[in-house]
Amino acid sequence: MSLTPYIVLSAILFTIGCVGVLTRRNAIVVFMCVELMLNASNLALVTFAKQHGNLDGQIAAFFVMVVAAAEVVVGLAIIMTIFRSRRSASVDDANLLKY
């Protein structure tokens, strides 16, 4: 049984996440797409763990989850703050840092 389809699925999900980050404007949806990319990489890690017959990949996926949780907490707090001051969750509206 080859595990290649898992990797391919992981690649597809990652790409979809990428495109989502680039096209969606709602900051929360952008964050979801980032989560999608993280999850896709997690899938690859778990797949490799099975492929190589050790648990290091699963450990790595576990840490990715922890970091993702931390990132989501802080990121959503930032979105909250921006929304509170600008009444908008669009990433295009927060464009004051420019030329």
Per CB under 8 A, which of residues 2..41 are in contact with other proteins?
2-26, 28-29, 31-33, 35-36, 39
Write out the binding residues for other proteins, residues 42-61 only, by CB under 8 A. 42-43, 46-47, 49-56, 58-59, 61
Cα 67 from chain centre:
11
Q: How far apart are CA 27 and CA 16, in angstroms?
A: 16
Least distance to other proteins, CB of residue 63, Å: 6
Residue 83 structure tokens: 């929304």
94 torsion bin: left (phi>0), alpha (psi -120 to 50), beta (else): beta
In the complex, minimum distance from the CB of residue 47 to other proteins, in angstroms, rounded to a whole number: 6
Does 92 help bind other proteins (rule: CB under 8 A)?
yes
